[in-house]
């Protein structure tokens, strides 16, 4: 295939069909008719000498060739888009951008109230969307442009990603306010004698607390495993179980909070974005807003 002989709009059609797996939906996104999408797809198939998509009962399934192409196509589209936006200014007062973040419920509790307050004040027409992407897929989602930012614990460094530290918080033990067995502090022996709720989005595996205890040659009694910190107040208020969460988050909940009876590494959260967005005015502006929130929290 000689790129000089190919209409570059065909790559946009290919990208939309790949994302939507449906010609009509792709047409709606591209603001063209469904027959126009079909015609463009036919031309692109001829150019690359592959079917690219096969019609199935559940939609248009990509062929191996399409799967192999999509990452580079998305990168190219993103670079073209950024080549236009990089020289444009971002005016928050009139901006309508939707910022997409990957974060878990704990980060939502800690960050979103302040971030939405700033957004309402400084960029009233902009919006936020949060989803939780599997850690192994964060780089790909940022590369594709499906995410603007991800907030997560430190990960193996990648030359494709930029990052900055936004939070470092100690972990504390939490229980219901009127827990009959917990006073102002707790010993290690007492801690291990009680049942615990382990919060994790993973289906199995040990968490940070259990890895720390394992190194000490001991273990806790996990009686419940749940996915979200949001559930902890109600779960703890109905039981005599204990749990662990970051101190900043615990302060916002009506729970008894005591220091853990053992040393544990603090929770470190980092903001990640793709290097291709580093000079994007909207991306820069949002990073500045997050810096403001972090500075206010630290001070």
pLDDT of residue 34: 92
Taking only the tens place, the pLDDT of each residue in 117-144 is 999 999 999 999 999 998 888 988 898 8
Distance CA(71)–CA(15), nearest Å, equals 10
90 belongs to a structural domain: no
* SS3 assignment, position 127: strand
162 belongs to a structural domain: yes
pTM above 0.95, yes or no: no
For 261, counting Cβ atoms within 10 Å of its Cβ (0-12 exposed, 13-18 middle, 19+ buried), the class is: middle
CB 38 within 8 A of CB 51: no
Q: In total, how many domains does the chain have?
A: 3
Tokens of 109: 């509790």
Q: Are residues 14 and 74 in the same domain?
A: yes
* SS3 assignment, position 101: strand
Which of the listed residues 85, 115, 149 is the one where a domain comes to its end? Answer: 85
- Residue 205 contacts by C-beta under 8 Å, 6 or more apart in sequence? none
Distance CA(267)–CA(248), nearest Å, equals 11
Q: How confident is the model at residue 18 (pLDDT cuts 50, 70, 90)?
A: very high
Q: Are residues 161 and 176 in the same domain?
A: no
> Where in the sequence is the domain holding 286, given as residue range(s)?
98-169+268-298
Q: Where residue 277 sits, what CATH number does that domain have?
A: 3.40.190.10
92 belongs to a structural domain: no
Q: Are residues 109 and 72 in the same domain?
A: no
Q: Are residues 208 and 160 in the same domain?
A: no
147 closest CA partner among 167, 129, 127, 135: 129
Looking only at Cα atoms, what is the longest distance across the chain?
77
214 belongs to a structural domain: yes
Distance CA(31)–CA(34), nearest Å, equals 9
Q: Are residues 141 and 288 in the same domain?
A: yes
159 belongs to a structural domain: yes
pLDDT of residue 202: 77
């Amino acid at each position: 295939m000689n790129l000089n002989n190919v209409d570059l709009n065909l790559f946009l059609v290919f990208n939309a069909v790949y994302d939507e797996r449906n010609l009509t939906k792709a047409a709606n996104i591209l603001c063209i008719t469904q027959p126009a999408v079909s015609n463009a797809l036919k031309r692109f198939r001829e150019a690359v000498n592959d079917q690219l998509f096969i019609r199935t009962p559940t939609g248009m399934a990509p062929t191996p060739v399409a799967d192999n192409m999509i990452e580079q196509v998305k990168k190219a589209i993103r670079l073209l888009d950024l080549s236009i936006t990089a020289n444009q200014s971002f005016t928050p007062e009139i901006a309508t951008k939707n910022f997409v973040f990957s974060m878990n419920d704990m980060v939502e509790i800690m960050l979103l109230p302040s971030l939405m307050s700033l957004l309402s004040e400084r960029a009233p027409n902009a919006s936020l969307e949060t989803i939780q992407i599997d850690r192994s897929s964060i780089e790909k989602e940022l590369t594709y442009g499906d995410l603007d930012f991800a907030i997560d614990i430190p990960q193996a460094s990648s030359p494709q990603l930029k990052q900055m530290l936004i939070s470092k918080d100690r972990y504390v033990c939490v229980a219901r306010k009127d827990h009959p067995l917990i006073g102002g502090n707790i010993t290690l022996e007492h801690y291990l004698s009680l049942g615990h709720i382990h919060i994790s989005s993973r289906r199995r595996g040990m968490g940070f607390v259990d890895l720390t205890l394992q190194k000490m040659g001991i273990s806790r009694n996990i009686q419940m495993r749940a996915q979200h910190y949001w559930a902890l107040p109600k779960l703890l208020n109905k039981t005599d179980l204990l749990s662990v969460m970051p101190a900043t988050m615990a302060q916002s909940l009506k729970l008894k909070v005591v220091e853990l009876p053992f040393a544990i590494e603090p929770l470190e959260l980092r903001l990640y974005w793709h290097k291709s967005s580093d000079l994007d005015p909207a991306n820069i502006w949002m990073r500045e807003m997050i810096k403001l929130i972090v500075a206010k929290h630290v001070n």
